[in-house]
Structure 1
């Protein structure tokens, strides 16, 4: 399948059209590289990107643009055919040819159920030879099709894992799990027959055992057997007495030397067989290396991304992104998104993550952690929540208490050792001051202290504390908090009984809500998410769907039963494990589960959209958290595979129009998406007419945003011209008039 691609939205683009996606992956763990003239391609854990030396631009390529996936296992560029081959762990292959991405399903050629990873690609004449976990695929670079599958080339016609390949004197040499094997590519030999492959062994000077690397080296070959040695071939194999006993992971021949990576150390071997270790502060975990025609090194580093001495000193050439793909919780403040990578395991045991936190503003990510020296507090790990009180940022840790970052950037840790602090450390021998969640209140910061005698506190703006304890032992283990006016709703750890504890600090009354009738009636006692919608209803995400408290202010007395919204004659998302709920400006609910994300109408009886890895750029179906930039309508999803966002069609609104924006405008001929009109009055009525006043389209805003699909009521695309936008508040008192230019 071929897909024409145009990378309009390069790195740093602030806005994207309604209904479109963008990725927010970390590119620090860069694994593979390929050079295509002045363009350097690199792949990371979650996708592909490139650096253009001619204009110094950096751009990302992902599933959004047409790639089949993110699990890239190899890159190869054919100079003769101007093709970039992208191999995957799934066994599939993508080809970039000019501005076209061609998806090729190679799994049908494997005929096996085991691993299909494409480990390496080597080219010769009009073919590329794909070294895989099940043998070799001979791929025609002209016809873009598999010509042969050499699967049973192991001893006794067994399937053989091939790690790397190289062409030497018209022969294909392969580093395999059974040692080095070779076969001539020019002679008319049936290479489907395992007996037609030469197998090198002890008699030839090299052990016949698992060989990880092989590379061309000054008209010779060099191969590496992990935990053994390097071997040189110039007609006969001989062991080299350099870089021995290491775990080899990569080798490639450069113009005057060979690069070897072993035990996360890059070394070069010169033509006189001397080893030269390479060291640079920008290179911490080298994974691949290549040299361009000017002699510049390009290194795929597992911690700093794509690194090169292209401009002199080694520096990073990678897209803006979070420091890590591990995101535990998301937080929106003003026009910024905070991604928090900390976390905890069962019984809230801290994970020991030192990655700090990441902030996304105006299309760019900034990372604050000890590694970047912006948050030089190594003893504050596992950040799991964040909020602001005034201009001060508060961060909560699963183990290290609170961190207050003041407006002047002064940093203050608040834990059990802070004078006047009531916070409690569960284990004196280690850091277990667990603060799983915090929330801003009118009087200060509400703080949960998991497992403590007083599990709920408020840290007041004057620096004083007030603490609360409960007779219910289960209430000692809260993991999430929601303020519903003067009541505090706390989710109880599902492994400690689950349910919700609702507390009124004013009079000390509390109630424990469970799945029992008249006492909560939850769909399931294991609660994972809470959200307060724009009409004052509390939405609860459980391990068996969604429950809603339509009158949350009365739950402390009398019989209380949540309702389950009905969709298609059954309880909403029954049998689904709900992990996150977020409410957008149109009062619609974005509901994350372990099977993707749903967009549900305001009452819960309408499914507006459903996204998973099969029909969207989501990298994983397990949704960990969701947050929304209510100003732009962009919805951010943290998943087990990284973070992406989607420009929704709803924003927060005010009774009157304010800073109305129309995007994109003008609408280009090749734009096939939806125009967004934001900054509208709440639920405004919008009419779009041509310049003569003929009505083309009418709609109503979701909160403060309306959309137009650039077509009339019959689905015909609007003709080239200028169109007028008339918007009025629901009472008709506040209006706006704008223009949209359409180019065809």
Structure 2
């Protein structure tokens, strides 16, 4: 079981940035397969992945995680260091951010001084290494060395030790005797300075021990070692370098652990004593064919960070067998497309650029989340399908999933196992044609969706018969001509309306409508200013419960309110949503690049953007219920790739370009009747915080009236679908298939102990149901 570290960020500007503890409603689904750095401290092994950290307790073997849900920034980690003196973990980032996670009070401090330094180019702010000495930490960066005071939690001097005092990349520092040594590149060599000098800010007080480029410098007991970029390791004695070994591969990490020197290359980890006598060597093997990134050891165990398997544990005395250690998670932290079913989620990692160019044809697998467990299928097992993107779950058979490949066709997955890759040889799918290369095969399957009859609809770009249907029950394919859209670069989304019209998003052609029309197909699109479209590039579309089409373009939001007239009205228009903000009329999401639109059980809209995070709007768009960004929520990025809603539990899954998170919105989709309706918890015990956690009335129908009375018939609370919506401040609120009661009566007082009647009435079918609810205070 994974136990999460409970951490939050203090608000201490300008040194610190703030965040909140969202652990109650949010969950992180980060990958821990690719490890950047591994360190030891506090009787734990800490391992940093792309933008999250996990730790292994060496006594209990318990795994803990530290993510954006707990307060991390979500930026890309470059290095970590644990201070045994101050009982804290230092986290360095590629953008210059430093975060500090404390053991004793579970706080995270975000230090932004380097990020905000205007004299340092953004490309030169990467944190490369931490070295503590007395009460300070020397921070090696791509511009030089900065000094951070651990007691005052503030920066001191910065040392620019390049030529003539310029900026230079410092990979690592080490201290031996009275001197601090810096391993520099850009021809600035190995430098040293007297550490007690009060004027180290003056570059002239830094001596050049030798010229060249150095990757690392480290001390082991009373010995100093330096590593050049030519993979040669040197012992440094009285400023004289003596070569002791040349590694067959370029080392990627050099660190001293206790009285040992560990040197990590992509293929091996070497352990030496202070005299550089070889003590152990662990090598990559066929079982875990990966690249090593970093290593530490504890007693007789070595812990090695890898690019594919998290941390591998092996024996120092016999390093031949490995144990894989990391929390569960998806394959990668770059989810591109997601699709949820009931209590499950599928994730793909394929991608294409803004112009739907899939090259260079990434080879990545798929991930599947169910029952709080992840099942990962690597590329080797997906039948060579590249650039996997859109996902459709068969509503008639939840164990059957179809995944579009934006190069290889359509992948069928049964019971979690890829079984068939449909292409030009075994299906109705077609390859685009290159006149210069008639043998070229490139089947760019974009959007896919199932209709209510269990037929899968797919769209393939740059072919004449772009729209195809496939019936999995009889393996029958049918094609529909999109000749007028022959040059369309990509179709990112398709949805189906109540009248079976297929609504399609296109890059060049905006919104496309298609209806079979009993054998006389209707095909029409709008993409110009004459139709009030802000851009021809439509990235997202959604049909809501009123059969209104919401359209997300690269330059704003539109709605087609009367979809039934789309094919018959000559001058069809898409309308903007006008809201009032501060007494001024404004267009909702003006000029925003919209990536996804999802409709929940209450007809509210979740809308993702490329750089402004995630919005949650009321059904008509007039009220912003939530606006999540990386500064006010656990989103690791403001770039939203995809959003998917689990209708059974109200979980909103959010795929960003830096990882996957989920938010417990609480709502669920309504049912057709009231037969399964129930209230929980029941009874409501004194330990239950009824005001904040609320009583839930689940599995209600779409249009319902709810009355709560005491046993004598006195009205306590009342709500009606579409009126008493959630997040509106009512004591009784309805969100799709779930109602929420905060335990208060019409006088806004918490009710007394007793039996209460929950009377449900469907306003469409006149079905009724009465639930009994016991409240104990």
TM-score of the superposed pair, with normalisation by structure 1:
0.86
Q: CA 1:195 to 1:81, structure 2 compared with 1: closer, same or farther past 3 Å? A: same
For 1:483 and 1:176, the matched residues in 2 are separated by: 60
* Partner of residue 379, structure 1: 384
Q: 2:38 is matched with which residue: 33, 39, 59?
A: 33
Q: Is the 8 A contact 1:227 1:245 kept in 2?
A: no
1:259-274 correspondence to structure 2 within 5 Å = 259-262=262-265, 265-269=268-272, 271=275, 273=277
Q: Is the 8 A contact 1:686 1:725 kept in 2?
A: no
Aligned length: 714
**Residues 1:210 and 2:210 aligned together:** no
Q: Is the 8 A contact 2:73 2:636 kept in 1?
A: no
Q: CA 1:415 to 1:188, structure 2 compared with 1: closer, same or farther past 3 Å? A: closer
* Partner of residue 288, structure 2: 282
* Partner of residue 44, structure 1: 49
Q: 2:769 is matched with which residue: 717, 722, 734?
A: 734
More displaced stretch, 601-610 vs 129-138: 129-138
Shift of 1:475: 7.7
**Residues 1:328 and 2:336 aligned together:** yes
**Residues 1:99 and 2:105 aligned together:** yes
* Partner of residue 727, structure 2: none
For 2:609 and 2:111, the matched residues in 1 are separated by: 29
* Partner of residue 246, structure 2: 243
1:653-668 correspondence to structure 2 within 5 Å = 653-654=670-671, 655-656=673-674, 657-658=676-677, 660-662=679-681
Per-residue displacement from partner, 1:339-365 (whole Å, max 9, x unpaired)?
Answer: 111123334435422222111112222
**Residues 1:582 and 2:598 aligned together:** yes
* Partner of residue 591, structure 1: 607
Q: CA 1:665 to 1:138, structure 2 compared with 1: closer, same or farther past 3 Å? A: farther
Q: 2:478 is matched with which residue: 444, 466, 491?
A: 466
* Partner of residue 555, structure 2: 544
Shift of 1:272: 5.0
For 1:172 and 1:104, the matched residues in 2 are separated by: 27
* Partner of residue 503, structure 1: 515
* Partner of residue 645, structure 1: 662
Task: For residue 214 of structure 2, give the secondary structure of its aligned residue in structure 1.
Answer: coil
* Partner of residue 571, structure 1: 587
Q: 2:149 is matched with which residue: 132, 136, 140?
A: 140
For 2:258 and 2:86, the matched residues in 1 are separated by: 22
Shift of 1:535: 2.0
Q: Is the 8 A contact 1:581 1:590 kept in 2?
A: yes
Q: Is the 8 A contact 2:159 2:200 kept in 1?
A: no
* Partner of residue 202, structure 2: 193
Q: CA 1:469 to 1:69, structure 2 compared with 1: closer, same or farther past 3 Å? A: closer
Q: 2:458 is matched with which residue: 432, 444, 447?
A: 447
* Partner of residue 300, structure 2: 295
Per-residue displacement from partner, 1:571-602 (whole Å, max 9, x unpaired)?
Answer: 32121111100011111000111221111110
1:22-421 correspondence to structure 2 within 5 Å = 22-89=27-94, 90-107=96-113, 110=117, 112-114=119-121, 115-146=124-155, 148-177=156-185, 178-185=188-195, 187=196, 189-201=198-210, 208-217=211-220, 219-227=222-230, 229-240=232-243, 242-244=245-247, 246-255=249-258, 257-262=260-265, 265-269=268-272, 271=275, 273=277, 276=281, 278-280=283-285, 281-282=287-288, 284-292=290-298, 294-309=299-314, 313-345=321-353, 346-370=355-379, 376-389=381-394, 390-391=396-397, 392-406=400-414, 409=417, 411-418=419-426, 421=428
For 1:686 and 1:430, the matched residues in 2 are separated by: 62
Shift of 1:626: 0.8
Q: Is the 8 A contact 1:181 1:198 kept in 2?
A: yes
Shift of 1:323: 0.1
Q: CA 1:710 to 1:221, structure 2 compared with 1: closer, same or farther past 3 Å? A: farther
In the alignment, structure 1 segments of 5+ residues that lack a partner are 9-15, 202-207
For 2:222 and 2:228, the matched residues in 1 are separated by: 20
TM-score of the superposed pair, with normalisation by structure 2:
0.83
Q: Is the 8 A contact 1:19 1:648 kept in 2?
A: no
For 2:149 and 2:450, the matched residues in 1 are separated by: 61
Shift of 1:671: 12
Q: CA 1:733 to 1:664, structure 2 compared with 1: closer, same or farther past 3 Å? A: closer
Per-residue displacement from partner, 1:299-333 (whole Å, max 9, x unpaired)?
Answer: 22121112223799422221211101222211122
Q: Is the 8 A contact 2:464 2:486 kept in 1?
A: no
* Partner of residue 677, structure 1: 696
Q: Is the 8 A contact 2:52 2:67 kept in 1?
A: yes
**Residues 1:699 and 2:699 aligned together:** no
Q: CA 1:607 to 1:18, structure 2 compared with 1: closer, same or farther past 3 Å? A: farther
* Partner of residue 204, structure 1: none
Task: For residue 64 of structure 1, give the secondary structure of its aligned residue in structure 2.
Answer: helix
Task: For residue 252 of structure 2, give the secondary structure of its aligned residue in structure 1.
Answer: strand
More displaced stretch, 605-614 vs 108-117: 108-117
For 2:683 and 2:545, the matched residues in 1 are separated by: 28
For 1:704 and 1:22, the matched residues in 2 are separated by: 22
Shift of 1:119: 1.6
Shift of 1:423: 3.4
* Partner of residue 604, structure 1: 621
Q: CA 1:17 to 1:212, structure 2 compared with 1: closer, same or farther past 3 Å? A: closer
Q: Is the 8 A contact 1:264 1:287 kept in 2?
A: no
Q: Is the 8 A contact 1:623 1:639 kept in 2?
A: yes
For 2:447 and 2:716, the matched residues in 1 are separated by: 50
Q: CA 1:164 to 1:188, structure 2 compared with 1: closer, same or farther past 3 Å? A: closer
Per-residue displacement from partner, 1:398-418 (whole Å, max 9, x unpaired)?
Answer: 121222234595712221111
Q: CA 1:167 to 1:295, structure 2 compared with 1: closer, same or farther past 3 Å? A: farther
* Partner of residue 11, structure 1: none
For 2:707 and 2:90, the matched residues in 1 are separated by: 48
For 2:691 and 2:178, the matched residues in 1 are separated by: 49
Task: For residue 437 of structure 1, give the secondary structure of its aligned residue in structure 2.
Answer: strand
Q: Is the 8 A contact 1:225 1:248 kept in 2?
A: no
For 2:557 and 2:63, the matched residues in 1 are separated by: 42
For 1:42 and 1:192, the matched residues in 2 are separated by: 33
How large is the Cα RMSD of the aligned pairs?
3.7
Q: Is the 8 A contact 2:231 2:246 kept in 1?
A: no
For 1:618 and 1:307, the matched residues in 2 are separated by: 29
